[in-house]
Amino acid sequence: MSRNEADTRATLIDPKLKAAGWEDTQVKREHYYQRDHAYTQGRVILVGDRVRRGEARKVDYLLRLSDAFPIAVVEAKAESEPAEAGLEQAKRYAQDLGLAFAYATNGHKIIEFDFFTNTSRELDRFPSPQALWERWQLNMGLTEASRVAERPAEYGADRRSNPLLHPYCSEALCGRTPFYFQEVAIREVVKRIMQGRKRVLLTMATGTGKTFVAFQVVWKLIKSGWLERQHPDRPARVLFLADRIVLRDQAYNTFAPFADGTSEPRYKIEGHPPNLTRDLYFGIYQTLWSPDENGVRLFEMFPPDFFDLVIIDECHRSGFGTWREILDHFGSAIHLGMTATPKQDENIDTYAYFCAEEPEVAIDPEHPERGTWRPPAYQYSLGRGIEDGFLATYKVHRVRTTVDATGLRLEDAIEQGAEVFVPEDVDPREVYTTPQFEREITLPDRTRAMVQHLAGLLRRFGEMEKTMVFCVDMEHARLVARLLQDEFGPETGLSNYAVPIISEEGEEGRRALEAFADSDKPAPVVATTAELLSTGVDVPSCRNIVFMKTVSSPVLFKQIIGRGSRSSSCSSPSHPSRSSVAS
């Protein structure tokens, strides 16, 4: 009688893997396999006001050379089924995980698919870890592998010194381990750096952990000694460059595991003169651009070859224009750009700069007439994050006031007794519509009506759930915060239930932002802002996103939604985020 799948795996496949040198994960933590490895969490599905998880995607076997380097998947079928039945499934899993090799087997026949050649072949045994490592190195043409092309480096010999194989920063030290898509991103960046590329781009949706990926990349490059081996005469140095203090400080905190208690390699660049004795630098463009009393800008005080790697956060917004001179000054360094924005007309220069060394591929292989482009090293979209269950889906509650639906005729408003003040240098419109509200004309009663409606929603969904409200400008943000405070302050007993966060400058604004982002602090509950929280700022416990302004860009809408869509790092991982669009 033929064995079922479970028996096939236990009596036929497991022994063949072990014979090839792959160990059970419980036996040895190098060149091992993991059974039934779930690499997604399952989509968060809304059923009314309740949620459930969809089915997680998992592989029968994930073959790893180390904890930090998966290399192949194996899809198992029952002994009575043809091995070919699992091949397409194995290929899909391997593509998800960014792996070069996929195997399908019924315990007797083994079919290998090689993504380097895009061909399959039948085998009578699984390849050994060393054999796969050699093939992977030679096909990638890595600098270190090519030096010994006749006999690539032994797996065991260079496990700690090769940044690809070097362990991630441990969960005990940094609080988490990378998800599968973060592993792919880390591997793709490190691979390109080892190949000698100087410009690399990551495009990952808001909320998917770009800073954590950058940290793990740096951890591997420095702890393996690879960066320092490029110039043994001096230590490796990295610059993390942002355009806002809050993003700089978030990165500084993420890189905390580098501080081992005996030394502090991190340094915030905050003014003249710079400290030139550290290894990890964190700065914003504005500070680096600032001149001293002699007109020398701060970035010019660093030697041009001072940094090995420059990480540019939110590079679609801040890497060019005025600040391009800073990047050019450190032009010999590797530049790693990070963005949540897919390629579009307004950021075409960003993609051209960071993707110049990428191979040109068809935009749509099935429609070659659409042309070609150079993609980033890795892309992970908001839609994919939601599908995988790492980002929560969101529910939209749309609100429209009467005046938004019909517009405001100035003559009608005056006839109804409204007081209208028109500055001398302004030509009033006959009719005002939503895009002009709070920009060209202020409507306090409209804002009060919208706040009252929002208060009703918060009471329904949970008045203590962290909420971001995006307003038209600073004055509008202050008014909305005051009205919400008046609404909920008496019943919650909180003097800072709602606060405007209109600037990160100054100690007060910084404290308010840090308190709002801290999941363990009950207040502030609501933060109102204009643009400050739109991208980059990490608020893992946010449940509600409210727009009291028009948002014309779908990309910006998705980035803002991403601030409240984190699933795995939220205090309530099974809950969807809610988006209230008030117009």
pLDDT at 574 (0 to 100): 40
Are the CB atoms for 350 and 342 separated by under 8 Å? no
**Beta partners for residue 283, in sequence order:** 241
Reply yes or no on whether the pLDDT at 360 is more than 80: yes
Render 245-287 in DSSP notation, one character per residue: HHHHHHHHHHTGGG--SS---EEE--SSSPP-S-SEEEEEHHH
Question: Is 283 a residue whose pLDDT tops 90?
Answer: yes
Copy the structure tokens of residue 355.
Answer: 């993707």
Q: Which of 148-162, 288-302, 458-472, 509-523 has the lowest mean pLDDT?
A: 148-162
pTM of the predicted protein model: 0.81
Q: Is a pLDDT exceeding 80 seen at residue 319?
A: no
Backbone phi, then psi, for 230, in 5-degree steps? -75, -20
Length of the chain: 583
The C-alpha atoms of residue 196 and residue 143 are separated, in whole angstroms, by 7
pLDDT of amino acid 346: 67
Q: Could you report the per-residue pLDDT of 101-130, keeping only the tens digit for each?
A: 999 999 999 999 999 999 999 999 999 999
User: Which carries the bigger pLDDT value, residue 566 or residue 430?
Assistant: 430
Q: How far is the C-alpha of 102 from the C-alpha of 115, rounded, in Å?
A: 8
DSSP state string for 434-445: GGGBTTTB--HH
The share of the chain scoring above pLDDT 70, in percent, equals: 85
The residue with greater pLDDT, 520 or 235, is: 235
Residue 147: per-residue pLDDT: 38
pLDDT digits (tens, 9 = 90+) for 553-563: 555 565 555 55
Does 579 have pLDDT greater than 70?
A: no
Structure-model confidence comparison of residues 159 and 276, the more confident one: 276
Lowest mean pLDDT among 144-158, 188-202, 210-224, 306-320: 144-158
325 half-sphere exposure, CB direction, 13 A CA radius: 9
pLDDT at 411: 81
C-alpha pair distances (Å), 32 with each of 21, 38, 66, 67, 370: 8, 16, 7, 9, 43
pLDDT digits (tens, 9 = 90+) for 29-87: 778 999 999 999 888 777 766 778 889 999 999 999 999 999 999 999 999 999 999 99
CB 443 within 8 A of CB 403: yes
Question: Could you tell me which residues are beta bridge partners of residue 380?
Answer: 204
Mean pLDDT of 355-380: 90
Q: How confident is the model at residue 417 (pLDDT cuts 50, 70, 90)?
A: confident
CA distances (Å), origin 23, targets 15, 19, 114, 577: 10, 9, 22, 42
Residue 208 has, within 13 A of its CA and on its CB side, a CA count of 33
Which position has the higher pLDDT, 238 or 244?
Answer: 238
pLDDT tens per residue, range 183-228: 999 999 999 999 999 999 999 988 899 999 999 999 999 999 999 9
Sign of CA dihedral 298, 535, 377, 186: positive
DSSP state string for 511-555: HHHHHHH-TT-----EEEESSTTSSS---TT--EEEESS----HH
How far, in Å, are 88, 360, 371 from residue 365 at the CA level? Answer: 19, 12, 9
β strands within 48-85, DSSP E: 50-53, 58-66, 69-76
Query: Are 319 and 327 in contact, with CB atoms under 8 Å apart?
Result: yes
In the predicted structure, residue 583 carries a pLDDT above the cut 60? no
Q: List the single range of 142-146, 158-162, 233-237, 436-440 with lowest mean pLDDT.
A: 142-146
| Cβ(443)–Cβ(437) below 8 Å | yes
Q: Give me the phi and psi of 133, to 5 degrees please.
A: -60, -45
Q: How confident is the model at residue 569 (pLDDT cuts 50, 70, 90)?
A: very low
Q: Please give the domain boundaries of the chain with CATH numbers for all domains.
A: 5-146 (3.90.1570.30), 171-384 (3.40.50.300), 394-582 (3.40.50.300)
Q: Are 83 and 104 in contact (CB under 8 A)?
A: yes
